[in-house]
Amino acid sequence: MRLAELSERSGVSTATIKYYLREGLLAPGHRVSATQADYDDAHLRRLRLIRALIQIGRVPVATARQVLAHVDDESLGQTIRLGAALWEMPHEPEPDESDPETAVVRAEVDRLLERLGWSTARELGTLSPNHRVLTATMVRLKHLGYPVDADTLLPYAQELGRLAVLDLDRLEEWPTPGEKVEAAVAGAVLFEPVLLSLRRLAQEEESARRFGLE
C-alpha cells in the first residue's frame, strides 16, 4: 500500500508517519520509484504499536526507539528479548540506596521471592527494573506508615502468577517471535489500565456481598 492508504488504515496522519520514518521508529517502505514507496501489513502493525507506546504509554520517542530495537533483535532468546523490550520502558520509583530502609525492604522482597520459589526473579535480582520498582515502592509505603511484608504479599503474588500464565498463553497465540514481543509490549502498556478497572469492580462486588448495598 502507498503512504496515503497506510495513513487511512492506521488512523495516523501522513505527516506523523513521515516523522516516525525520520526518527527510525518505522522501517522505510519498499521503494517503487524515486518518489514512492510501498508499505505492508508489518508497517501497519508497527504503527499501531508506536501509537500505543507514545499516545497511551507516554513513552518518549528516544525510549520507544530503544524498545523497538529489542523487539526487532532476532539474535536474542525469547525471554531476554521480551524482557529487554519491557526493561527499556520507563520505570519509577528507583530505590534510594542512601536510605537504610532500602536494604531492609530488599531483604523482605528476596524473602518473598524465595517463598514463591521464583528462581528467575531471584537470579535476575536488581538487574530487573521490576525488582527495583517493587523495593522502592515498598520503602515509600513503609515511610508513609503503611508497611507491607512478605506474608501479606505472598497470596497476591501467587494469584498474579496464575494471571501471568494467562498472559503468556495469550502471547503464544501470535505466530512469530517478533509478533509475540510486539504483543508483550502493547500488553504492558495497554492492558494494565483494564486490569485495574476490573480489580476495582471486583472489589465493589465483594464488598456488596459482605456488607450489603444500603
CA nearest neighbour of 181 among 46, 55, 29 = 46
195 binds a second copy (CB under 8 A): yes
Q: Are 46 and 27 in contact (CB under 8 A)?
A: yes
Residues of this chain, 109-128, that bind a second copy according to CB under 8 A: 113, 118-121, 123-124, 128
**Nearer Cβ to a second copy, position 33 or 171?**
171
Q: How far is the CB of 124 from a second copy (least distance, A)?
A: 7
**Nearer Cβ to a second copy, position 36 or 119?**
119
Give the β-pairing of 37-38 and 30-31. antiparallel
Q: How far is the CB of 93 from a second copy (least distance, A)?
A: 9
Q: How far is the CB of 175 from a second copy (least distance, A)?
A: 15
Alpha-carbon distances, residue 69 vs 2, 18, 65, 85 (angstroms): 24, 19, 6, 8
Residues of this chain, 36-95, that bind a second copy according to CB under 8 A: 45, 48, 51-52, 55-56, 77-80, 82-83, 86
Alpha-carbon distances, residue 92 vs 21, 133, 134, 184, 205 (angstroms): 29, 6, 9, 20, 31
Question: Could you report how far apart the first and last alpha carbons of the chain are, in Å?
Answer: 59
201 binds a second copy (CB under 8 A): yes
Among 17, 71, 131, 150, binds a second copy (CB under 8 A): 131
- Tell me the three cell numbers of residue 88: 527499556
Residues of this chain, 132-161, that bind a second copy according to CB under 8 A: 133-134, 137-138, 140-141, 143-146, 148, 152-153, 155-157, 159-161
Q: How far is the CB of 113 from a second copy (least distance, A)?
A: 8
Distance CA 112, CA 161 (A): 13
> E strands, the chain, where?
30-31, 37-38
Q: How far is the CB of 62 from a second copy (least distance, A)?
A: 21
